[in-house]
């Protein structure tokens, strides 16, 4: 949390003074009324000077200045960020590609949507657009703060580029999609500055409520004047104005706008760009979160989690074979098989470079398997009651048995010599083939080579698939004999801590729905493991859109993340659509929030920010209203004590004199604004809890607290000022 520094405070106070201009002040009716009151008391103080009237007038002016300072402070935080963004926008020249070929240099500010520009290494991209030709590494740190460059290329989901970012290598041709002044950067600057801030729906509603309260209190004070005179206790205008200012909800009135700006500021700090404040508020209301399985709930890559041996195969053998089959497999799945074999099964052997003569069977759509073919030196002896060709590479391990087959090409003196011997002896080398792949294909492969496939194989595959994993079979053939060795259990691993996060969300009343392209069985298993409330399997973009509409028809607010062009309709339909900054322009246009970090789990943080914004407003409103009780106990006896000594019984705080009591209430009313500025800027602490427990906690702090605090505060102020009056 950034703290409020002294220079920032000074600057904000000066800005606060400037905001006294009635032409802008009327936008906040509550504080405008205070300003009018301050002006009237000033006239009264000049016309008929008294220490009391002057003091009241000064403190009323201060009340307004404090309120304006709060707003200026909130705005000031965004200013620095806006300045740095603006710096990256400074006039860039663009190389515009002319329709007939050839290029011309124009200022970026003259680019229109549809223009094509060429950007080469070292140049700044002149405007938002899509790459239509080429690929380049781009430094997007100006926007995202992330220093690692990203790749942007024509076609696909990584084609969107943002104006103000810098091409580091290669060159790309970009079609500009945003006209000047409407770019991403422009919008971001506008937002962080809080300029032209549109009030959000709840803020408007609260404003109405506060205006009506203010109106009631105006009536109270206006009617009190004749009624008090009628009763023989006429009141001075100064006192009536002081009463009015103390009664109207100045605390929340002063801080309302600061709370809104600070809320957006928190969003910016989380590296999220909101296209409207409405979206942030809506985030607090979300009751259904649609989360993509891959990359959000799970790590995103399927990883080997277990090797299951079949028949007489030992765990070590299947691990060894699986590793071999994956040595050349550079996919994350393949790497995970190697890692698992080496870490969990202690298959400790050399890498790919140790097998110079190996041939690789790479995955193809027709065979749907991958593997390795190795020459071996000699035939195998009976082992384990089955033909067992190899115990390769295990000689350093404690589990080593008799090494009956040496794989040709092993490094190390002995190995190479024996290989050389084999080849030199002219023995036709046996070939050992190890393959892994989808169950159906591997079984067919093994059967072709005369293997008998154990029943257990299909059973095991079925078990893994229903459990949410993906089963790969591993088989090998040495010479003419083949056999299925075992199964690799690949799983999409759920990120740690997700189940707890979803449980928290559930407690807050937010349902999570996992969206996945997996089949239903797999989806169900992962959903159970991750602890989501529901899932949508084999989901197409249309399914997603339909799901959102169903949820909304059931009275639920939906939030989702997306990055692809085909996510755009769903993003637009969702109440809160968070587009990833790495996503396509279409997705970024459709969403109402853009996450610059492209972190799909951030949706959860956005919800918290939205809720915090609303809670802060509600809490300070409650506090503001509750404060009035104590102010009454200060002012009413003070007003009428002279005429009706009996009302002195209401002076439960034992305030010194009528003048000190009224002034103390006014001073408290001004100072409480200052005291609450940090709360307004930081936001009331939000804890993920049920609505009931949140209400209980906040009522206790701001409701009951709001009743008690002013009694203490006013009494203390009275003790200080009593001798001065």
Selected binder of other proteins within 46, 87, 227, 420 (CB under 8 A): 227
Could you say which residues in the range 467-506 bind other proteins, by CB under 8 A? 506
Tell which residue, 483, 377, 388, 469, has the closest CA to residue 435: 483
Least distance in angstroms from the C-beta of 652 to other proteins: 12
**Residue choice 87, 212, 675, 720 for contact with other proteins (CB under 8 A):** 212
Smallest distance from the beta carbon of 629 to other proteins, in angstroms? Answer: 7
Distance CA 250, CA 64 (A): 9
- The CA distance from 656 to 645, in Å, is 15
Q: Is 696 in the site for other proteins (CB under 8 A)?
A: yes
Q: Which of 618, 658, 710, 713 binds other proteins (CB under 8 A)?
A: 618
CA distance 706 to 685: 17
Query: Shortest gap between Cβ of 364 and other proteins (angstroms)?
Result: 50
Compare residues 371 and 577 and give the one whose CB is closer to other proteins. Answer: 577
Between 222 and 459, whose beta carbon lies closer to other proteins? 222
Query: Could you tell me the smallest distance in angstroms from the CB atom of residue 692 to other proteins?
Result: 6
Select from 74, 341, 615, 638 the one that contacts other proteins (CB under 8 A).
Answer: 615
Q: Binding of other proteins at residue 226 (CB under 8 A)? A: yes
Three-state secondary structure call for residue 153: strand
Residue from 44, 523, 626, 653 binding other proteins (CB under 8 A) = 626
Span 539-558, contacts to other proteins by CB under 8 A: 552-557
| Footprint (CB under 8 A) of other proteins, residues 272-291 | 281, 284-285, 287
Rule CB under 8 A: say whether 233 interacts with other proteins: yes
Closer residue to other proteins (CB): 270 or 721: 270
Residue 219 binds to other proteins (criterion: CB under 8 A) = yes
Contact between 173 and 131 under an 8 Å Cβ cutoff? The reply is yes
DSSP line for 385-432? TEE----TT-TTSTT-------BTT-SSHHHHHHHHHHHHTTPPPEEE
516 in a labelled binding site:
no
Does 507 participate in binding other proteins (rule CB under 8 A)? yes
247 binds other proteins (CB under 8 A): yes
Residues touching other proteins, count (CB under 8 A): 79
Give the nearest distance from C-beta 531 to other proteins in angstroms.
Answer: 16
* d(C-alpha 17, C-alpha 26), whole Å: 15
Does residue 54 touch other proteins according to CB under 8 A? no
Question: Binding of other proteins at residue 521 (CB under 8 A)?
Answer: no
Residue 128 touches other proteins, criterion: CB under 8 A: no
Q: 369 among the known binding-site residues?
A: yes
Tokens coding 536: 């949508």
Interaction of residue 262 with other proteins, rule CB under 8 A: no
User: What are the tokens at 55?
Assistant: 């003091």
370 annotated as a binding-site residue: yes
- Note the Cα 549 to chain centre separation in Å: 23
- Least separation in angstroms between CB 56 and other proteins: 18
User: If you compute the radius of gyration of the chain from its CA atoms, what whole number of angstroms results?
Assistant: 36
Q: Count Cβ neighbours within 10 Å for each residue of 584-607 and write b for 16 or more, e otherwise.
A: bbbbbbbbbbbbbbbbbbbbbbbb
Helix and strand numbers (H, E) in the chain are 24, 24
- Determine, following the binding rule CB under 8 A, whether residue 209 of this chain makes contact with other proteins: yes
Contact 697, 513 (CB under 8 A): no
Query: Tell me, what DSSP letter sits at residue 294?
Result: I
Residue partners of 102: CB distance under 8 A and separation at least 6: none
- 287 annotated ligand binder: no
345 to each of 41, 381, 459, 491, 681, how far by Cα in Å? 85, 24, 23, 17, 54
Token pair, residue 163, equals: 């104006």
266 binds other proteins per the rule CB under 8 A: no
Distance CA 218, CA 208 (A): 15
363 labeled binding residue: yes
Residue closest to 282 by CA, chosen among 648, 630, 603: 603
Residue 359 in marked binding region: no
Is 533 among the catalytic positions?
no
Rule CB under 8 A: is residue 682 a binding residue for other proteins? no
635 and 246 in contact (C-beta within 8 Å)?
Answer: yes
H-state helical runs in 554-657: 568-573, 585-590, 602-640
The annotation status of 72 as a binding-site residue, yes or no, is: no
Q: Is 563 annotated as a binding residue?
A: yes
Residue of 130, 186, 292, 518 marked catalytic: 292
Nearer to other proteins, 475 or 510 (CB): 510
Question: Which has the closest alpha carbon to 363: 339, 342, 333, 338?
Answer: 333
Within positions 639 to 658, which residues make up the interface with other proteins, using CB under 8 A?
639-640, 643-644, 646-647, 649-650
Residue closer to other proteins (CB basis): 27 or 696: 696
Verify binding: residue 42, other proteins, rule CB under 8 A: no
Q: What is the largest CA-CA distance in the chain?
A: 129
Binding site annotation covers 139? no
Task: Report the catalytic residues.
Answer: 292
Binding-site residues for ATP, please? 329, 333, 363-370, 436
Binding-site residues, please? 329, 333, 363-370, 436, 563, 567
């Amino acid at each position: 949390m950034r703290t409020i520094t002294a220079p920032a405070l000074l600057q904000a106070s000066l800005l606060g003074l400037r905001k006294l201009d009635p032409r802008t002040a009327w936008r906040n009716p509550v504080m405008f009324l205070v300003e009018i009151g301050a002006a009237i008391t000033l006239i009264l103080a000049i016309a008929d000077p008294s220490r009391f009237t002057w003091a009241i007038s000064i403190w009323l002016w201060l009340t307004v200045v404090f309120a304006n300072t709060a707003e200026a402070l909130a705005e000031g935080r965004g200013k620095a960020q806006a300045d740095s963004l603006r710096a990256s926008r400074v006039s860039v020249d663009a190389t515009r590609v002319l329709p007939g070929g050839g290029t011309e240099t124009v200022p970026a500010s003259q680019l229109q949507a549809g223009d094509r520009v060429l950007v080469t290494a070292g140049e700044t991209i002149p405007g938002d657009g899509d790459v239509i030709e080429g690929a380049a590494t781009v430094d997007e740190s100006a926007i995202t703060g992330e220093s690692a460059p990203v790749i942007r290329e024509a076609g696909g989901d990584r084609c969107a580029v943002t104006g103000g970012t810098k091409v580091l290598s290669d060159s790309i041709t970009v079609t500009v999609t945003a006209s000047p002044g409407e770019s991403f950067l422009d919008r971001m600057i506008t937002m962080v500055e809080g300029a032209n801030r549109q009030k959000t729906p709840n803020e408007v509603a609260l404003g109405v409520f506060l205006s009506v309260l203010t109106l009631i209190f105006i009536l109270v004070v206006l009617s009190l004047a004749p009624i008090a005179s009628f009763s023989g206790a006429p009141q001075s205008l100064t006192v009536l104005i002081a009463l009015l200012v103390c009664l109207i909800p100045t605390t929340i009135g002063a801080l309302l706008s600061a709370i809104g700006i600070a809320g957006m500021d928190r969003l910016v700090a989380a590296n999220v760009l909101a296209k409207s404040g409405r979206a942030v508020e809506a985030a607090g209301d979300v009751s259904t979160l649609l989360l993509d399985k891959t990359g959000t709930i799970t790590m995103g890559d399927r990883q080997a989690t277990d090797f299951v041996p079949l028949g007489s195969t030992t765990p070590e053998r299947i691990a060894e074979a699986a590793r071999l089959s994956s040595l050349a497999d550079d996919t994350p799945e393949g790497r995970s098989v190697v890692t698992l074999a080496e870490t969990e099964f202690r298959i400790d052997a050399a890498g790919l470079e140790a097998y110079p003569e190996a041939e690789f069977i790479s995955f193809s759509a027709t065979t749907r398997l991958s593997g390795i073919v190795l020459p071996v030196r000699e035939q195998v002896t009976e082992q384990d009651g089955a033909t067992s060709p190899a115990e390769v590479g295990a000689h350093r391990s404690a589990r080593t048995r008799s090494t009956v087959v040496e794989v040709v090409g092993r490094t190390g003196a002995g190995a190479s010599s024996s290989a050389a011997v084999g080849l030199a002896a002219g023995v036709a080398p046996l070939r050992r083939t190890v393959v892994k792949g989808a169950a159906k294909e591997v079984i067919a492969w093994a059967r072709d080579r005369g293997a008998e496939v154990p029943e257990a194989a299909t059973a095991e595959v079925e078990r893994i698939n229903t459990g949410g994993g993906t089963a790969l079979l591993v088989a090998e053939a040495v010479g003419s004999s083949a056999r299925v060795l075992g199964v690799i259990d690949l799983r999409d691993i759920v990120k740690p801590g997700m189940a707890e996060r979803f449980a928290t969300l559930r407690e807050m009343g937010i349902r999570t729905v996992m969206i996945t392209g997996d089949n239903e069985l797999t989806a169900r298993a992962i959903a159970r493991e991750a602890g989501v409330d529901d899932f949508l399997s084999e989901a197409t973009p249309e399914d997603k859109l339909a799901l959102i509409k169903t949820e909304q028809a059931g009275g639920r607010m939906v939030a989702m993340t997306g990055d692809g062009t085909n996510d755009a309709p769903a993003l637009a339909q969702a109440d809160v659509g968070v587009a990833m900054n790495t996503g396509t322009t279409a997705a970024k246009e459709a969403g109402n929030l853009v996450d610059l970090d492209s972190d799909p789990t951030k949706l959860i943080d956005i919800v918290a920010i939205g809720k915090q914004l609303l809670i802060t407003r509600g809490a300070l409103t409650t506090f503001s209203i509750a404060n009035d009780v104590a102010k009454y106990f200060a002012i009413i006896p003070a007003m009428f004590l002279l005429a009706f000594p009996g009302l002195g019984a209401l002076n439960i705080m034992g305030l010194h004199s009528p003048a000190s009591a009224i002034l103390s209430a006014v001073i408290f009313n001004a100072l409480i604004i200052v005291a609450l500025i940090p709360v307004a800027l930081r936001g009331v602490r939000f804890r993920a809890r049920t609505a009931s427990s949140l209400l209980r906690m906040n009522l206790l702090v701001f409701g009951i607290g709001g009743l008690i605090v002013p009694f203490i505060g006013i009494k203390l102020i009275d003790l200080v000022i009593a001798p001065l009056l």
